[in-house]
Amino acid sequence: MFVDSGQLFLSLYVDDILITGPSLCAIQEVKDYLHDLFTIKDLGDARYFLGLEIACNPSVTYVAQTKYVIDIVKDTKLLHSKSVSTPFPQGLKLSADSGAKLEHPNAYRRLVGRLLYLSFTRPDISHCVQELSQFLNHPCKDHWVAALHVVKYLKGCPSKGIFLPFDNDFVLTAYCDEDWASCTDSRRSRTRFCIFLGSALVS
């Protein structure tokens, strides 16, 4: 959406709207316009939106999903389990036939779906969650154990998130690494990457 002072961005989900842009006056104009049309309730600065916890101070914006992580840990009944220090066990190689097929695959699919949503603010788990998502059609016991390992890792650091400093030069820097022919099922290569916006890891 374009206004006289530049671009505004509206994120809409059912009846929740998040508005952002460079001009507070323009944001207020849009709020007033929407209020005239629909009678909206203005909750002020964003603090919580669709599971995203947003905190700002004069130097940084911090986005996390701490409550969402804790809910995942509770739902998998790992609240009293020992946490681990890495998202995946070192050297773990999963394949389509890693152990016996799960009797109740929907539990695996639901957990991986929740982890995929979480990886928006947790780039540290995105690689292993993408790997787990390759086995949604026919998950095996080893895939389930690996998914629970991710949850045990999250248990040890539930409040990690993305830090976006205000003094950002907005330069995108990307690094990638090719793992040649490492997929045990297809013998194809796998690529890992990370992208920084200034000094902030965003993907």
pLDDT single digits (tens) 20-36: 888 888 899 889 998 99
The neighbour count for residue 50, using CB atoms within 10 Å, is 13
Give the burial class of 41: count Cβ atoms within 10 A of its Cβ; 0-12 exposed, 13-18 middle, 19 or more buried: exposed
Three-class SS state of 87: coil
Three-class SS state of 157: coil
How high is the pLDDT of residue 200? Answer: 85
Q: Which residues pair with 194 in a beta bridge?
A: 175
48, 54 Cβ separation under 8 angstroms: yes
**Distance in angstroms (rounded) separating the CA atoms of residues 152 and 108:** 15
Q: Is the pTM of this model over 0.85?
A: no
How high is the pLDDT of residue 63? Answer: 92
**Distance in angstroms (rounded) separating the CA atoms of residues 122 and 134:** 19
Q: Which residues of the chain have pLDDT under 70?
A: 1-5, 180-187, 190
Q: CA 178: distance to chain centroid? A: 23
Give DSSP secondary structure letters for 104-125. -HHHHHHHHHHHHHHTTT-HHH
Above pLDDT 70, what percent of the chain? 93
Residue 186 DSSP one-character state: T
CA 148 vs CA 1, 73, 161: distances in Å: 42, 9, 20
How high is the pLDDT of residue 87? Answer: 92
How high is the pLDDT of residue 186? Answer: 65
How high is the pLDDT of residue 166? Answer: 84
